[in-house]
């Protein structure tokens, strides 16, 4: 390296100074090289990428996890290029690396930011051991359509829950010091509104008014930025007619201008060139112009930048100052990661894959993620000393790969412990297990084994039915129009129900499913999502009462797909439904006149309520909420109010409850949701114990973006609830007043 670049290596200089020294030495070609990320997953990458690295034409590589190969790529970039700029090594580390955690939607069901942070930390250490220094997670898209395959990667429908868990995942990946061994850069995606794609079809268009963007879809990204996230990724979809990858309003006005984000913005996979397919541009040159001037710093896996940015600058259409801004953002992240000081990975300096600690965290995450949806007649937990035999039936009881879920490129299937394996280990010879797969996979309509399943049920004291979706049925580009149990699973449930034996359904899936066909056919339902490597031991412990379920739904479960979108924080409307106003299709008189008098917002052919509400989740204990109260009936703007409730465990076992606080702003300058989650806390109580649970709420937490696009808190009356779901009944109120 030349003497003029000494400032780059001088750690006494701050990062901004080091970036400017390096930037000042770069040619335009080298700057554009930093803005290009290339796919490196085919063959021996140093052979076909070596020349580009030596010429400074590559700023990042994606999709290679061989640490020796990555160290060689770094060596070429650092030691054989003119300026020695190290590489960002990107990989989708979504819910674990070798050790797989529950899908993000399952982690959201834990309602436990600390546990999510611990899981991301484990994933970061394992990914870093392989040479990865940049992950494309967390996905913080608000997701209110269960048909969308990528709801599996989300934290669900709630602004607050998604914001808190997204920030926690950022902290887990990046740690306290991004340059520390084992820390990797996080990437909040997909900015913005991707979860609102029409009809739940991946990549489809989105139309979101600005007030909704600001009050809902922007919020988790703002929380990630506040948590220090290093990078953001743009959405594939268009937003109000302008694809996100070419949308200067969200990238420049909001992200850079209002939020002062200084990190790196990367496109999604080839989404720069896709601006032409959207119909925004005529060709790749125009796509490169639109994306770069909108504020996309790096192009992922396409070549519009590398082929056309130089000419755009030479022609004067793109200023070199704009290129400098993008390269500054990229170099800053590389310096913050410490890559200029230590570009190489020493795998021996990091924990082993699937360490004891990693598996413990994965099992705890799986345990807390499972939601007990129903439990009639105390069907669960099973008592091993009272059962002589259990039939274990279904295609997902012993499916190592399927329980890992979507987007697990590096997950080790051999590490998976299935429910069947774990139950065998737990009960030993005390309980006879009769296992019948019954279906080849979750989509199968071949029912040749159903008779064997019925026989096993008849011969057993109880039945565990493992149902749901294979992993391939959710994730990117895996949207579904019908989100019922696929294949012949409903018929299997009905055949087993005819035996009269107690039935517990354990459902593994990447999304909420419509369960109306089976909800009354089974005695209990454990919703396990795709629980990851340690899903089996977690489920075994729950089924046999070693632990009590404590998960809560991060998304509303519709009765039928036609209710979508259905979510807890909907608006009231002018004619909200109630038991008194709803008319069912079989109640309509043939000769009744059409009228809107007394009518309300509902579907004729289903109930207006969901099957299971947001925040719902039962326990083997019984928690009672009583005596909700506020510290003051009036609170001035800028002040705090304390809301308390008495929580009692009236069950026979110690257990955890997720206590949830909701508010409603009754009158505002724009209509407000009927409920908004404002706080939550996990509370563990012994049997018979009562504890006062208190939340401190600042009036700033009641703020919203109004008609003028500005954040405001308006005086007025607020309802407040505390309970175990969004259907909480304990309600009080307080009034926010102006300063006297």
Please list the active-site residues: 268
Listed residue (108, 124, 195) closest to 529, CA to CA: 108
Residue 133, C-beta contacts closer than 8 angstroms, at least 6 positions apart: 88, 89, 184, 185, 337, 339
Neighbours of 342 (CB within 10 A): 13
Cα–Cα distance measured from residue 450 to residue 395, given in angstroms and rounded to the nearest whole number: 12
Q: Is 176 exposed, middle or buried (0-12, 13-18, 19+ CB in 10 A)?
A: exposed
Residue 62, CB half-sphere, CA atoms under 13 Å: how many?
Answer: 21
Q: Is 240 left (phi over 0), alpha (psi -120 to 50) or beta?
A: left
The CA angle 620-560-494, to the nearest 5 degrees, is: 65
Residue 373, CB half-sphere, CA atoms under 13 Å: how many?
Answer: 30
Listed residue (210, 112, 127) closest to 165, CA to CA: 112
Residue 684, CB half-sphere, CA atoms under 13 Å: how many?
Answer: 5
Which residues lie across from 393 on neighbouring strands?
Answer: 436, 465
The answer to whether 614 touches 725, Cβ cutoff 8 Å, is yes
> Would you mind telling me the total number of residues written for the chain in this entry?
740
Tell me if residue 564 falls in helix, strand or coil.
Answer: coil
- DSSP H helical ranges for 66-176: 67-79, 104-108, 113-129, 159-174
> What are the backbone dihedrals phi and psi of residue 472, each rounded to the nearest 5 degrees, phi first?
-70, -10
Q: What is the dihedral of CA 212, 216, 220, 225, to 10 degrees?
A: 30
Q: Where are the beta strands (DSSP E) in 602-715?
A: 623-630, 634-636, 640-649, 655-665, 676-685, 690-698, 704-705, 711-712
Cα–Cα distance measured from residue 100 to residue 489, given in angstroms and rounded to the nearest whole number: 27
Residue 708, C-beta contacts closer than 8 angstroms, at least 6 positions apart: none
Query: How close are the terminal C-alpha atoms of the chain, in Å?
Result: 66
Work out whether the CA dihedral 557, 563, 564, 566 comes out positive or negative. negative
Cα–Cα distance measured from residue 684 to residue 691, given in angstroms and rounded to the nearest whole number: 10
Residue with tokens 């309980």: 431
The answer to whether 539 touches 364, Cβ cutoff 8 Å, is no
> What are the backbone dihedrals phi and psi of residue 53, each rounded to the nearest 5 degrees, phi first?
-65, -45
Residue 200, CB half-sphere, CA atoms under 13 Å: how many?
Answer: 25
Work out whether the CA dihedral 506, 510, 512, 518 comes out positive or negative. negative
DSSP assignment string, 250-303: IIIIIIIIIT---SEEE-STTTTTHHHHHTS-SSHHHHHHHHHHHT--BEES--
Q: Is 5 exposed, middle or buried (0-12, 13-18, 19+ CB in 10 A)?
A: middle
Which residues lie across from 88 on neighbouring strands?
Answer: 60
Cα–Cα distance measured from residue 519 to residue 522, given in angstroms and rounded to the nearest whole number: 6
The answer to whether 397 touches 439, Cβ cutoff 8 Å, is no
Cα–Cα distance measured from residue 654 to residue 303, given in angstroms and rounded to the nearest whole number: 58
Cα–Cα distance measured from residue 322 to residue 324, given in angstroms and rounded to the nearest whole number: 5
Residue with tokens 């990367």: 266
* R_g over Cα of the chain: 27
């Amino acid at each position: 390296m030349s003497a003029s670049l000494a400032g780059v290596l001088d750690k006494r200089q701050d990062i901004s100074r080091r970036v400017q020294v390096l930037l000042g030495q770069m040619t335009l070609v080298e700057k554009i090289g930093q803005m290009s990320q290339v796919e490196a997953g085919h063959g021996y990458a140093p052979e076909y990428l070596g020349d580009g690295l030596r010429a400074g034409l590559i700023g990042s590589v994606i999709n290679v996890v061989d640490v020796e190969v990555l160290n060689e790529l770094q060596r070429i970039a650092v030691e054989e290029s003119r300026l020695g700029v190290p590489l960002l090594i990107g990989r989708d580390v979504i819910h674990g690396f070798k050790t797989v955690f529950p899908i993000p939607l399952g982690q959201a069901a834990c309602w436990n930011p600390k546990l999510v942070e611990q899981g991301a930390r484990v994933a970061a250490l394992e990914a870093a051991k392989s040479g990865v220094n940049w992950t494309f997670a967390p996905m913080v898209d608000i997701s209110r359509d269960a048909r969308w395959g990528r709801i599996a990667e989300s934290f669900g429908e709630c602004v607050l829950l998604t914001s808190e868990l997204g920030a926690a995942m950022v902290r887990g990946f990046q740690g306290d010091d991004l340059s520390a061994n084992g820390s990797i850069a996080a990437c909040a995606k997909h900015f913005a509104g991707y979860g609102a794609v029409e009809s739940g079809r991946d990549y489809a268009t989105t139309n979101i008014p600005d007030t909704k963007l600001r009050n809902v879809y922007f919020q988790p990204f703002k929380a990630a930025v506040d948590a220090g996230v290093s990078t953001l990724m743009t959405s594939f979809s268009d937003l109000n007619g302008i694809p996100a990858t070419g949308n200067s309003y969200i990238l420049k006005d909001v992200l850079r201008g209002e939020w002062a984000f200084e990190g790196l913005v990367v496109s999604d996979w080839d989404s720069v060139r896709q601006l032409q397919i959207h119909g925004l541009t005529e060709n790749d040159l125009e796509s490169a112009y639109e994306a770069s001037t909108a504020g996309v710093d790096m192009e992922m896996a396409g070549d519009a930048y590398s082929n056309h940015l130089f000419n755009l600058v030479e022609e004067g259409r793109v200023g070199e100052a704009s290129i400098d801004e993008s390269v500054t953002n990229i170099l800053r992240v590389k310096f913050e990661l410490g890559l200029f000081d230590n570009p190489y990975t020493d795998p021996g300096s990091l924990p082993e894959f699937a360490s004891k600690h990693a598996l413990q965290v994965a099992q705890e995450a799986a345990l807390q993620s499972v939601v007990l949806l129903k439990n009639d007649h105390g069907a669960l937990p099973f008592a091993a000393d009272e059962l002589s035999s259990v039939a274990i039936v279904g295609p997902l009881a012993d499916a190592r790969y399927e329980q890992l879920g979507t987007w697990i490129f590096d997950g080790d299937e051999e590490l998976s412990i299935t429910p069947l394996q774990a139950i065998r280990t737990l009960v030993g010879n005390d309980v006879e297990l009769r296992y019948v797969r019954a279906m080849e996979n979750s989509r199968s309509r071949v029912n040749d084994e159903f008779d064997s399943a019925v026989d096993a049920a008849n011969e057993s004291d109880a039945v565990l039915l493992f149902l749901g979706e294979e992993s391939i049925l959710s994730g990117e580009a895996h949207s579904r129009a019908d989100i019922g149990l696929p294949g012949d699973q409903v018929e299997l449930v009905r055949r087993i129900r005819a035996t009269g034996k107690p039935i517990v359904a354990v459902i593994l899936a990447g999304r909420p499913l419509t369960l109306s066909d089976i909800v009354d056919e089974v005695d209990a339902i454990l919703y396990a999502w795709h629980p990851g490597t340690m899903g089996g031991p977690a489920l075994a412990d729950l089924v046999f009462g070693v632990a009590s379920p404590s998960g809560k739904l991060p998304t509303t479960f519709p009765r039928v797909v036609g209710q979508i979108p259905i979510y807890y924080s909907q608006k009231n409307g002018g004619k909200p439904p109630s038991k008194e106003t709803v008319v069912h299709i079989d109640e309509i008189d043939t000769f009744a006149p059409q009228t809107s008098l007394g009518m309300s917002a509902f579907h004729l052919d289903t109930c207006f309520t969901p099957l299971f509400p947001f925040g719902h989740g039962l326990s083997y204990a019984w928690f009672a909420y009583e005596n909700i109260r506020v510290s003051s009936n009036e609170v001035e703007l800028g002040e705090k109010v304390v809301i308390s409730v008495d929580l009692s465990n009236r069950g026979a076992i110690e257990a955890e409850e997720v206590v949830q606080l909701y508010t409603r702003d009754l009158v505002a300058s724009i209509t407000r949701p009927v409920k908004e989650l404002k706080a939550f806390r996990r509370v563990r109580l012994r049997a018979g114990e009562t504890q006062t649970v208190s939340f401190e709420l600042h009036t700033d937490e009641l703020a919203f973006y109004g008609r003028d696009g500005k954040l405001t808190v308006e005086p007025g009356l607020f309802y407040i609830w505390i309970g175990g779901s969004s259907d909480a009944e304990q309600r009080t109120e307080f009034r926010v007043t102006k300063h006297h």
